[in-house]
């Protein structure tokens, strides 16, 4: 496939990436999503909007975030060099603010007074609460009770920022149920509210909009690496939950001679219910208003999923990822809980960077690959910082004594 005109061709007018994507909506929401699509298509060609977004990124978010060479970690593994795109240094500590500030600007342009969302790890909730405070909007965040217990610091941050955090106690009480609850709210309140979906998932135009707002990550990283080194990395990699940090990081490299690898959570094992590796073990289906690859139970409903990283435990994946896999441009691999925790402690000890458990999956894969490659360079998107995970990790794994030495 020729990727030179990729961004102009995908998605098509119906929000399709090949057979994936689209918008499967209840009748009464169709006009609301049309209104969002129309507003987005208006402002994304407006110089006022682009200039304001650039100003916000520079002055409020602290962009560009740097690219960093992990010299010690690389040396411990051999001769292959590992680099990080430091989205952990983006304001609020993760990539999520990139699309939340865009969605906040869109809400302002559309005259909406309220923004709502689901959150898993709490990073999207914190980012959206931040955008709401910045733009003076009301904000409600739906979060599963299990995730609330795991991510207490982020729950506190959302509340301090003025958001109403609503605990979700149905089903497994994690991300999927939080999405269901947020959709329910949106159905009742779409006239005053925008549902700012937290990843590159959901009905059209969200996979496209979130991707476009996250594109800055890969665009910066590509230019920064090229300037540092005079060439491009051999491999770029990122963790994949719904797929927002990865799609924005990957696409600027799509037409380059660079291997692109998404890393999904293998959790405790490859048994259904023990992981959330939709791309590796799932099949095509429709969920939450879009067609993609998903994990299903025996009845064909979304299967229960699990990962140590709350932000990765979603039973489907953004439709553009499914498409890029089918056309052979992006490969998807897995990292287990244990490998992610190992990477969490090693990056902390050897580089002084505590990564989010989500991002630790990509670091774990890069560490494994570096040993196999022996030489060359790997650029990892470090999607977020790990402060939010510290209590949980310390309670279950101590201070990482077991992981300090390389085998
Ligand atoms: C730090 C971090 N990285 C990655 C993710 C996964 O989301 P996505 O696949 O949309 O980037 C999350 C989700 O909460 C997150 O908090």
d(CA 104, CA 194): 9
Q: Which two tokens stand for residue 38?
A: 């129309």
Rounded distance from Cα 378 to ligand 1 centre (Å): 20
Q: Would the CB of 386 count as within 6 Å of ligand 1?
A: no
Residue 20's alpha-carbon distances to 49, 180, 201, 213, 327, in angstroms, are 29, 21, 11, 20, 12
Choose one of 172, 206, 240: the last residue of a domain: 206
Query: Residue 384 falls within a domain, yes or no?
Result: yes
What distance in Å separates the CA atoms of residue 272 and residue 81, rounded to the nearest whole number?
35
Q: How far apart are CA 152 and CA 96, in angstroms?
A: 18
Pocket of ligand 1 contains residue 117 by CB under 6 Å? no
Residue 403's pLDDT is what?
85
Residue 9 lies inside a defined structural domain of this protein: no
> How many angstroms is it from 13 CA to the middle of ligand 1?
27
Query: How many alpha carbons fall within 13 Å on the CB side of residue 234?
Result: 12
Q: What is the DSSP letter of 194?
A: E
Which residue puts its alpha carbon closest to atom 1 of ligand 1?
384
pLDDT computed for residue 404 by the predictor: 67
For residue 355, the cross-strand partners are 385
Contact indicator for 186, 114 with CB cutoff of 8 Å: no
CA distance 132 to 205: 21
| Count of structural domains, the chain | 2
- 46 and 128: one domain? yes
For residue 164, the tally of other CB atoms under 10 A from its CB is: 14
In a shared domain, residues 269 and 375: yes
Q: Are residues 122 and 149 in the same domain?
A: yes
Report residue 204 as tokens: 């059209």
| From 245, 324, 357, mutation site for ligand 1 pocket: most ligand atoms within 8 A of C-beta | 245
Report whether residue 98 contacts ligand 1, using a CB cutoff of 6 Å.
no
pLDDT tens sequence for the chain (407 residues): 889 899 999 999 999 999 999 999 999 999 999 999 999 999 999 999 999 999 999 999 999 999 999 999 999 999 999 999 999 999 999 999 999 999 999 999 999 999 999 999 899 999 999 999 999 999 999 999 999 998 899 999 999 999 999 999 999 999 889 999 999 999 999 999 999 999 999 999 999 999 999 999 999 999 999 999 999 999 999 999 999 999 999 999 999 999 999 999 999 999 999 999 999 999 999 999 999 999 999 999 999 999 999 999 999 999 999 999 999 999 999 999 999 999 999 999 999 999 999 999 999 999 999 999 999 999 999 999 999 999 999 999 999 988 866 55
Same domain? For 39 and 84 the reply is: no
Residue 95 appears among annotated catalytic residues = yes
Query: How buried is 13 (Cβ within 10 angstroms: 0-12 exposed, 13-18 middle, 19+ buried)?
Result: exposed
User: CB–CB of 129/100 below 8 Å?
Assistant: no
Q: Ligand 1: which atom is nearest the Cα of residue 124?
A: 14
Q: Is residue 3 part of a domain?
A: no
Do 158 and 219 lie in one domain? The reply is no
271 CB-near residues (< 8 Å, 6+ apart): none
Q: Are residues 196 and 263 in the same domain?
A: no
Q: Do 196 and 170 belong together in one domain?
A: yes
Same domain, 194 and 82: no
- Asked whether residue 126 falls in the same domain as residue 137, the answer is yes
Domain range holding 267? Answer: 62-93+213-403
Cα 27 to averaged position of ligand 1 atoms, centre (Å): 31
At residue 402, the pLDDT reads 86
What's the angle, vertex CA 251, arms to CA 86 and CA 319, rounded to 5?
110
- For the chain, the maximum distance between any two Cα atoms, rounded to a whole number of angstroms, is 58
Residue 32, domain member (yes or no): yes
Query: 93 CB under 6 A from ligand 1?
Result: no
CA–CA gap between residue 262 and residue 273 (Å, rounded): 21
Asked if residues 206 and 197 have their Cβ atoms less than 8 Å apart, the reply is yes
Residue after which a domain boundary falls, among 156, 173, 206: 206
* Single residue among 206, 236, 263 that ends a domain in this structure: 206
Q: Is 265 in the pocket of ligand 1 (CB under 6 A)?
A: no
In a domain, 79, yes or no: yes
Paired residues of 384 in beta bridges: 94
Encode 349-366: b = buried (16+ Cβ within 10 Å), e = exposed. bbbebbbbbbbbbbbbbb
Do 222 and 361 fall within a single domain? yes
Contact predicate 128/117, CB 8 Å: yes
254 and 144 inside one domain: no
Does 81 lie in the same domain as 202?
no
Distance from the alpha carbon of residue 22 to the mean position of ligand 1, in angstroms: 22
Distance 275 CA to ligand 1 centre (A): 16
Q: What Rg do the C-alpha atoms of the chain give, in angstroms?
A: 20
Whether 268 is covered by a domain: the verdict is yes
Which among 383, 390, 392 is the best mutation to test ligand 1's pocket, defined by most ligand atoms within 8 Å of the CB?
383
Helix/strand/coil (H/E/C) assignment for every residue in 380-406: EEECEECHHHHHHHHHHHCCCHHHCCC
Q: Is residue 5 part of a domain?
A: no
384 lines ligand 1 (CB under 6 A): yes
Q: Answer yes or no: is 11 within a domain.
A: no
Question: What's 323's domain CATH number?
Answer: 3.40.50.1100
Pairing of β 138-144 and β 164-168: parallel
Residue 95 DSSP label:
T
């Amino acid at each position: 496939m020729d990727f030179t005109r990729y961004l102009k061709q995908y998605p098509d007018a119906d929000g399709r990436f090949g057979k994936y994507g689209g918008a499967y909506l209840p009748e009464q929401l169709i006009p609301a999503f049309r209104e969002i699509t129309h507003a987005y298509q208006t402002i994304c060609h407006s110089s006022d909007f682009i200039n304001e977004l650039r100003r916000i990124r520079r002055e409020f978010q602290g962009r560009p975030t740097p690219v960093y060479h992990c010299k010690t970690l690389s040396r411990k593994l051999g001769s292959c060099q590992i680099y990080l795109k430091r989205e952990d240094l983006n304001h609020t500590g993760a990539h999520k603010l990139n699309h939340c500030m865009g969605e906040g600007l869109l809400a302002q342009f559309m005259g909406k007074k309220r923004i709502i969302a689901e959150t898993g790890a709490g990073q999207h909730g914190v980012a959206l609460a931040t955008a709401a405070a910045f733009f003076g909007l009301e904000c409600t965040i739906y979060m599963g009770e299990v995730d609330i217990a795991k991510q207490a610091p982020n729950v506190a941050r959302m509340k301090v920022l003025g958001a109403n955090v609503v605990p979700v106690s149905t089903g497994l009480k994690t991300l999927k149920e939080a999405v269901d609850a947020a959709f329910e709210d949106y159905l009742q309140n779409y006239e005053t509210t925008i549902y700012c979906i937290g990843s590159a998932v959901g009905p059209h135009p969200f996979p496209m909009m979130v991707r476009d707002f996250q594109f800055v990550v890969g665009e910066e990283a590509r230019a920064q690496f090229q300037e540092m080194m005079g060439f491009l990395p051999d491999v770029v990699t990122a963790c994949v939950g719904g797929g927002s940090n990865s799609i924005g990081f990957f696409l600027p490299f799509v037409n380059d001679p660079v291997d692109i690898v998404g890393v999904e959570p293998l959790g405790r094992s490859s048994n259904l219910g023990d992981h959330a590796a939709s791309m590796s073990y799932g099949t095509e289906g429709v969920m939450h208003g879009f067609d993609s690859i998903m994990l299903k139970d025996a009845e064909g409903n979304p299967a229960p999923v699990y990962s140590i990283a709350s932000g990765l435990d979603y039973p489907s994946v953004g439709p553009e990822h499914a498409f890029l896999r089918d056309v052979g441009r992006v490969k998807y691999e897995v990292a287990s809980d244990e490998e992610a925790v190992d990477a969490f402690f090693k990056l902390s000890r050897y580089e002084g960077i505590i990564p989010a458990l989500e991002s630790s999956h990509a670091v774990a894969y890069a560490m494994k690959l570096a040993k196999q490659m022996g030489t060359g360079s790997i650029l990892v998107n470090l999607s977020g910082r790990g402060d939010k995970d510290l209590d949980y990790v310390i309670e279950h794994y101590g201070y990482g004594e077991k992981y300090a030495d390389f085998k």
